[in-house]
Structure 1
């Protein structure tokens, strides 16, 4: 089995962020908001806090009741000493969670999930500022996946890096799968995007935005890259015989979505992206600080 472990890629990015913070003597502060007793969220909160502190980002993890989240977001938005906000989900585990994202100031949204940044992503508007001098903030996990794929043969380091590639994504959530599909398509890929209702084509070069349906069989047989993020054990795992020969397979779910045989058959198998997602969060935090909070010398 040919496996790519994201730890080494993430380590390089973390070291780059750390070196820049130390070199320039930056004092960057992040507020983490934890309003859930979900064990996975607590573990992730502690992991992101320790990871940020390792690179020199001060991280204040604030635990509150769900009813107090809105007030706390307002407070940290107004606090000029806070440069980034991280909210851990689920909180209510319903539509109210999505509403919390848009309460954050986009200038402190280190996850890139406020509608301000998402609208830019869908419009392929890659810059912000009065003179378009700042690079847009992109969602952490989708960007982490693209940065990992940049280390593979699917990616060209010039022009539209995924031009000519067909990529299937099993996950069309608003926080990962859909933004990822559009980011891949913005970079030239023909994308087959699947959720529980089936698959659609996202091919911005051909002006196709979720208007053409596609079967799982067709998508997998044509795909140079298959990306899965289905958090359910009921998902019919991707089988070796479904894959195109030499396909790159990447799983970002906490549950493996490929059979062991498919993992063996893959041209390259990437079992997780978690460390890279956290590294991207640190990169985004540094970018927000540089763009909006650093005082001119």
Structure 2
């Protein structure tokens, strides 16, 4: 058996076309073209490459993305100015902008109503409490972080169920292993999977935790786990790894369950080629769909603000 390799680019194109239809309707209704400001601290490297891809994706969706190079000393003031600038509808931060500790707090400076990445603690609180709408009537959906959301969409295209079966949430019979527990990817992803009913083993350098599914309660629960890497991988129907290190011990085919779905989110590959001989579906990258999800968040933010004119 050889795994199906799922290319995210055609899927991203479908979502960008959906966003373009939304944007076209807004513009035809008299609104100016939506605009995102991207702040970039590096002239070269992964962040600069990502910014270029994001610009192309947004342009394909009819959204103007202006990328500005900023010095570390300028970032906070530039975010503050963008927050109150009526000509800027969304803000996109390309890390690193300062240092690791300060980058963590920069996203808190972004007005959540302009946060196309969905990383502000306002949105994180709704996610972790499994509140899927921001209004009592359930008309306005909460914004989700774009990379974890992109992974969820790819898993659905890879064959994960999306609909409830009776009283069971869609992922009630799924076990997942997520390697990485960062606030950017691993933790919100584990929460999203568990809120849809999956049992999630979350592995990190600090140990293993289990996200218990939100079955019979409002949201997921978390507990320490004694599982090691071998046991977590052996149990998993889905394996997602996002470790940003060349030193990571690659996940081998003999470690995973036969027909598992595997997703590689890392800058440096986290999977050995032998995984292709055992997995059912392998997703080698997520980036194009992350861009599409960020673009998709912008019209939703405009609706949340009531700013469609």
Match of 2:8 among 6, 20, 25: 6
- The reply on whether 1:290 has 2:303 as its aligned counterpart is yes
- The residue matched to 1:60 in structure 2 has which SS? strand
The aligned counterpart of 1:166 is: 175
Structure 2: tracts of 5 or more residues without a match: none
CA drift of 1:183 comes to: 0.4
Give the SS at the match of 2:214: helix
Alignment of 1:23-62 (within 5 A): 23-25=25-27, 26=31, 27-62=33-68
Is the contact between residue 201 and residue 213 of structure 1 (CA under 8 Å) also seen in structure 2?
no
Point out the more displaced range, 248-257 or 284-293: 284-293
- RMSD across aligned positions (CA): 1.7
Local SS of the residue matching 1:193? strand
Equivalent residue runs for 1:170-209 within 5 Å: 170-205=179-214, 208-209=221-222
Q: By how many angstroms is 1:293 displaced?
A: 4.5
Contact 2:302 2:308 in 1 (8 A): no
> What displacement does 1:287 show?
1.0
In the alignment, which residue of structure 2 is the partner of 1:227?
A: 240
Separation of aligned partners in 2, 1:107 and 1:101: 12
Offset from partner CA, 1:48-80 (integer Å, 9 cap, x none): 122212221112212221111111111110112
Contact 2:75 2:97 in 1 (8 A): no
After TM superposition, give the deviation of residue 132 of structure 1 in Å. Answer: 4.7
Give me the whole-angstrom Cα distance separating, in 2, the residues matched to 1:20 and 1:77: 23
Q: State the match for 2:81 in structure 1.
A: 75
Q: Residues of 2 paired with 1:205 and 1:86: CA distance?
A: 31
Q: Which is worse superposed, 214-223 or 136-145?
A: 214-223
- Per the TM alignment, residue 142 of structure 1 is displaced from its structure 2 partner at its CA by 0.2
Unaligned 5+ residue runs, structure 1?
none
Preserved CA contact (<8 Å) 2:6 2:158: no
Q: CA deviation at 1:284?
A: 0.5
Q: Work out whether residues 36 and 66 of structure 1, in 8 Å CA contact, stay in contact via their aligned partners in 2.
A: no
User: How far off is 1:290 after superposition?
Assistant: 2.1
Q: CA deviation at 1:274?
A: 0.8
Contact 1:199 1:214 in 2 (8 A): yes
Deviation at 1:37, TM superposition (A): 3.9
Query: 2:229 aligned to 216, 219, 231, which one?
Result: 216
Alignment partner of 2:226: what SS?
Answer: strand
**Number of residue equivalences:** 296
- Deviating above 6 A after TM superposition, structure 1's stretches of 4 or more consecutive aligned residues are none
Structure 1 residue 259 displacement after superposition: 0.9
Q: Is 1:255–2:255 an aligned residue pair?
A: no
Q: Distance in 2 between matches of 1:49 and 1:74?
A: 22
The CA distance in 2 between the partners of 1:38 and 1:203, in whole Å, is: 41
TM-score, normalised via structure 1 length: 0.94
Distance 2:61 2:24 in 1: 9
Contact 2:53 2:288 in 1 (8 A): no
